[in-house]
Amino acid sequence: GQQLNQSPQSMFIQEGEDVSMNCTSSSIFNTWLWYKQDPGEGPVLLIALYKAGELTSNGRLTAQFGITRKDSFLNISASIPSDVGIYFCAGQRETSGSRLTFGEGTQLTVNP
């Protein structure tokens, strides 16, 4: 079953606000990934993190790989309406080969 706890499950914010979401696990991961899913489409990779402590940005998005290797967070600054969607974290463990474990997702709604 799911081994990643993603929170919050949903967020309702105003345009222009900053957003933060995170994933935690009792297991150690050696890769953390963040995806976004638009309605009717498959998830799209936003950011990939490969080292503990790594902080990576992609435009208004910033993600960090936790020092303990058991957590990661994603921040979105100055949200805009097209940020609406479901955000998933995913982790890869050393023992799982190429398989990823996904969080349950954070549904983001941005009010104009």
Partner 1 sequence: DAGITQSPRHKVTETGTPVTLRCHQTENHRYMYWYRQDPGHGLRLIHYSYGVKDTDKGEVSDGYSVSRSKTEDFLLTLESATSSQTSVYFCAISEDRDYGYTFGSGTRLTVV
**Which of 13, 27, 48, 75 contacts partner 1 by CB under 8 A?**
48
Does position 87 interact with partner 1 (CB under 8 A)? The reply is no
- H/E element, 99: none
Q: Find all residues with CB under 8 Å of 79, minimum gap 6, and list them.
A: 13, 14, 15, 16, 17, 18, 19, 60, 108, 110
Does position 105 interact with partner 1 (CB under 8 A)? The reply is yes
Q: What letter represents residue 86's amino acid?
A: I
CB of 82 to partner 1, least distance (A): 18
**Which of 12, 14, 41, 82 contacts partner 1 by CB under 8 A?**
41
Q: How far apart are CA 17 and CA 80, in angstroms?
A: 8
What does the binding site for partner 1 look like in residue numbers (CB under 8 A)?
1-2, 6, 31, 33, 35, 40-45, 48, 50, 88, 90, 92, 97-100, 102-105
